[in-house]
Structure 1
Amino acid sequence: MTSVDRGQREAIFPDFRDAWIVHRDPALLVIDKPAGIPSQAADPAHADDVVSRLKAFGESYLGVHQRLDQDTSGVMVFTRAREHNAALAAQFEGRKVEKRYLACVEGWPKNKDRVTLRERLVSEKDKKPKLAVTHVEVRKRQGTRALLELVLETGRMHQARVQLAHAGAPIAGDTMYGGVYAPRLLLHARQIAFAHPVSKQRVIFSAPVPYEFETWLRGGASPDEMPRDDRGLGEALERAVLRRYTLGRSAGDTAFRLVHGEGDGLSGLVVDVYGDHLVAEFPLESEAAQRERVLDRLAALGFAGIYLKLRPRQSNTLVDTRRDDLAPREPVRGVAAPEALGVLEGGIPYEVRLGDGLSTGIFLDQRENRARVRALAGGLRVANLFAYTCAFSVAAATGGAKATASVDASMVALERGRANLQRAGLLSDAHTFHAEDAFAWLGRAARRGQKFDLVILDPPSYSKTRTRRFVAADDYPELLANALAVLDRGGRVLACTNHRGILRGKFRKLLAKGAEMAGREVWQMKDLPLPREFPVAAGGEPHMKSVLLTVA
């Protein structure tokens, strides 16, 4: 098992940076919060919020008086001693604190250079409508795009985002309220002014306008293109690293997605962490010079080595995934990893091979689904179809599955799956391996009357064996129907597809058709989210769709 040492991890995924401190005195701490850091921890198990990180950075006490959304950047103020809380809190509650924001929008009306938005908003916590007042002034126009200055007179949840969306111009990059594409949510707390709790003098603190705002206003930031300038590239990589702080500092997670294409404002680029190495994937048609710039930036992060993968746009037409021109066996930066590299995911060991073709041995977008299988599998009989290196089988066995059957057309992949179970100390006669076509195996299992409590379907979008060809968009209903034939009463199917042409609605229809073909009544079809390190760009769909299907 190799991993980045603790000091190096802290350097790559820092608690906080000095550059983010705007002002510090005995009474106050003012910061310029980067986009990507939450104001408060949504999950107590993941202490990645700004207060937790500041305390790890050396602050002993912080009084919280305001919040910013995770993807909103800008000025935040904290008290550094309890005796100053009341004075500052009274100003916030009495609307004596002036808060100025900047927002980028598309389609703001030309006749509304200065306007006040007044609406009554309802929050999830408080169902009673409360007045929200936002003063809007246009600061700059560039074609149909505009930079707005917002003065928030009140402080309702998502106030600026909701009111601008209601006005017909949602903030760029706002995936929740329908904003057009941007590399991030283009909302920034520009300035805050109030009376200092000790001196009683009026103080004003501000944070510079983020670089992405000016780039977007000039017409840049296409979802189909990564930044071509060094500063834009560096800022996007910095945000991606900030978003993975919890995983980066977790001793039990040494394999995870670091950059996820357009969701991180870096279209076409995928970067994964494996211990102290990176794997960077680019489209085959990407420019060599651009790749070299990105690789240089990634090398500066401090990992031991970087492997390169070039993925054709139509991966279904690729025959040999181990071609050296597409996936060099040796790293393109730094030193080589061991041929069989051990990594951890949720504390479970897996084996990967970074120089062995386009795939490494584990699909990181299934991290949360493996955790679900682990939680569900206790005492169950589990069938893992298209098992590859059997990561789902390892998760099920770790969770106490009574038995697992791993099915894949590749004997080589299954042998690596056997090694994964052995590495985890779980290899036994209860866990079997079947090197054959999934449809053939399902047919034979049904004829024998075999039953399973959980069936996992994670097929490739396109595949071909000696006996048949599989295309997810056409053949998924038949696959599910065959799987349901071996599913016991009350059982579950975890069905997944990464076919980009199958949207979530269409996937549910394919599953419903398969259940109808099998004559099985479905009690529930539950859409499952991607791990949070796989962000979806504004207006986009997740690349992988997962549904947990429960039958009567």
Structure 2
Amino acid sequence: MDVGTIFPHFRDDWVVHRDDALLVIDKPAGIPSQAADPAHPDDVVTRLKAFGEPYLGVHQRLDQDTSGVMVFTRAREHNAALAGQFEGRHVEKRYIACVTGWPKGKDRVTLREKLVSEKDKKPKLAVTHVQVKKRNGPRALLELVLETGRMHQARVQLAHAGAPIAGDVLYGGEYAPRLLLHAQAISFVHPVSKKRVTYATQAPHDFDAWLAGGASREEMPRDGRVVASALDRAILRRYILGHSEGDTAFRLVHGEGDGLPGLVVDAYGNHLVAEFHMSDEHDGPSFRDRLLDRLAALGFDGVYVKRRPRQANTLVDTRRDDLAPREPVRGSAAPEEFAVLENGISYLVRLGDGLSTGIFLDQRENRARVRGLSGGLRVANLFSYTCAFSVAAALGGALSTASVDASMVALERGRANMLHLGLLPSDAHTFHAEDSFAWLARMARRGQKYDLIILDPPSYSKTRNRRFVAADDYPELVANALAVLDRGGRILACTNHRGISPGRFRKLVAKGAETARRQVRQMKDLALPREFPVAAGGEPHMKSVLLSLD
């Protein structure tokens, strides 16, 4: 597997123009203009330097999810000439945007209003000239000429006008595979020739496809070019993970958040696992085969498949071969069990052993938090599955860990995880094949106390003792956990129940604390890892709250 091919620094076809003075590129959506996290630089300048550009003068910014023309100077002596044009508003910047709700009869208007940015609280005038280029019912394609350059100018002004840009997560846009804003052309005086030049790009195919009526958050796009673009953007967004020596397991495609509803793709070392949410009516075998061919062409050694029912409350035999074949459907097989890295921690996984692999990748950041919080603490990990949280806690210096799960098979895999890292044998780390509610009741009767309790139950589960439904039973679970939580302790509470909103989940957790009559010092919402993007109009599938007691 060639990481540089799958996760390229940059590609030749993104270069619009290059001479001794200037570099003009067509920045793809998904690449930030500047590094959001200096410790993990994945911005366009960093990538261009890795591509072979020794010096670049930066004169403009585009939002990460905005595509289009960007210009850089390639020598310091040309900076002043180009910077002066930007500062003096002599550079013409032309964009296109897809919106819903643009009023009829306003085919040419100028939007003028004062905007306040987070960096500069003083209101500044923003001027955008708008022209309607195409219409299809309530949808419209607009051409925008930005006279000024305020932060999120076009996005804010169009949202204020009642026509937010499609795919805009921040400003209420209609669902789309991406933010449908593209910097199509830029005009200025060349610093060497002193002649006015214009550099332009083609409108991405996604724009016309959306305008024609495409894009549904429930169904995979049928347009092959739209699918290919969405997959390409998803890979661009995982550039840092793809090049990280400490991360070999991560989410590569996250369903509707990446413009591919019904498809989840995870990378495990040199192999992929593609998960389809079953619907032969919409995603028949031939369509899935074409998707799998695209995934196989990326350059990984093999591709495994999992098929899940669309109804989350449907309990199925997770080892059925028609749902989770033991062998890859494309390429070569991975070892039956092998190690992957997450934040530098080694975990054992199995790609051909049922619907789950041994680790839930959406808990990446929470495991890092648990590792950071666990020093010297007594930690209880309920619904522990293969004990990944317990591993993180033990490596973080936990005084003890107790892993509780109804499945002895899962706990044996957890024990193997601990042994694999040299954490066993140790009396400090115990494993309990038991219903979590029954275990909590037993610990409460014994007067046992813990400092950190992790609650990560499935949305629906059934044991010999009881049936658990997160939407109904989560307050009881929190209350029971609080009965064994010591003063000043914390609970990490999580749910991936898609029917529970973040706000409702906070209320369920708070209700549990109220039932237990424990004083809460803080309830903090925790964000998902950034490789789990949320689509416009959607909500995160995983909700996490860190509950801290006085």
Q: TM-score, normalised by structure 2?
A: 0.98
Identity %: 80
Give the structure 1 partner of residue 14 of structure 2.
Answer: 20
Give the structure 1 partner of residue 457 of structure 2.
Answer: 459
2:203 is aligned with 1:209: yes
Residue 284 of structure 1 and its aligned partner are, at CA, apart by 2.0
- Matched AA of 1:382: V
Give the structure 2 partner of residue 263 of structure 1.
Answer: 257
2:343 is aligned with 1:316: no
Q: RMSD value over aligned CA atoms?
A: 0.8
- Within the candidate set 165, 169, 175, 1:175 is matched to 169
- Matched AA of 1:339: E
Write out per-residue CA displacement over residues 511-550 of structure 1, whole angstroms, 9 at most, x where no aligned residue.
1110011110111111111111111111011111100111
- Matched AA of 2:456: D
Give the structure 2 partner of residue 237 of structure 1.
Answer: 231
- Residues 288-303 of structure 1 aligned to structure 2 (within 5 Å): 288-303=285-300
SS of aligned partner of 1:343 = strand
Give the direction of change, closer, same or farther, for the CA distance of 1:433–1:181 in structure 2 (3 Å limit). same
Structure 1: segments with no counterpart, 5+ residues:
none
2:473 is aligned with 1:512: no
Aligned-partner Cα distance in 2 for 1:375–1:123: 34
Structure 2: segments with no counterpart, 5+ residues:
none
SS of aligned partner of 1:127 = coil
Write out per-residue CA displacement over residues 448-487 of structure 1, whole angstroms, 9 at most, x where no aligned residue.
1111111000000111111111111111111000100111
Residue 402 of structure 1 and its aligned partner are, at CA, apart by 1.2
Residue 317 of structure 1 and its aligned partner are, at CA, apart by 2.8
- Within the candidate set 418, 422, 431, 1:433 is matched to 431
Aligned-partner Cα distance in 1 for 2:467–2:218: 31
- Within the candidate set 326, 346, 352, 1:329 is matched to 326
- Matched AA of 1:494: L
Give the structure 1 partner of residue 67 of structure 2.
Answer: 73
Residue 269 of structure 1 and its aligned partner are, at CA, apart by 0.3
2:537 is aligned with 1:539: yes
Write out per-residue CA displacement over residues 35-81 of structure 1, whole angstroms, 9 at most, x where no aligned residue.
00000001011110000000000000000000000000000000001
- Matched AA of 1:551: L
SS of aligned partner of 1:44 = coil
Residue 425 of structure 1 and its aligned partner are, at CA, apart by 2.0
- Within the candidate set 120, 125, 134, 2:119 is matched to 125
- Residues 354-365 of structure 1 aligned to structure 2 (within 5 Å): 354-365=351-362
- Matched AA of 1:301: L
Give the structure 2 partner of residue 307 of structure 1.
Answer: 304
- Within the candidate set 218, 222, 247, 1:228 is matched to 222
Residue 318 of structure 1 and its aligned partner are, at CA, apart by 2.5
- Matched AA of 1:24: R
Residue 319 of structure 1 and its aligned partner are, at CA, apart by 3.5
Write out per-residue CA displacement over residues 340-361 of structure 1, whole angstroms, 9 at most, x where no aligned residue.
0210000100001100000010
Aligned-partner Cα distance in 2 for 1:266–1:341: 29
Residue 335 of structure 1 and its aligned partner are, at CA, apart by 0.6
Aligned-partner Cα distance in 1 for 2:223–2:96: 23
Write out per-residue CA displacement over residues 403-461 of structure 1, whole angstroms, 9 at most, x where no aligned residue.
11100011110111111112222222211111101011111111111111110000001
Residue 315 of structure 1 and its aligned partner are, at CA, apart by 4.2
- Matched AA of 1:185: L
SS of aligned partner of 1:317 = coil
Residue 333 of structure 1 and its aligned partner are, at CA, apart by 0.3
SS of aligned partner of 2:313 = helix
Aligned-partner Cα distance in 2 for 1:336–1:314: 30
2:145 is aligned with 1:155: no
2:371 is aligned with 1:339: no
Aligned-partner Cα distance in 2 for 1:184–1:438: 41
- Matched AA of 1:503: S
- Matched AA of 2:468: F
Aligned-partner Cα distance in 2 for 1:351–1:497: 23
Runs (4+) of structure 1 moved beyond 6 Å? none
Give the structure 1 partner of residue 384 of structure 2.
Answer: 387
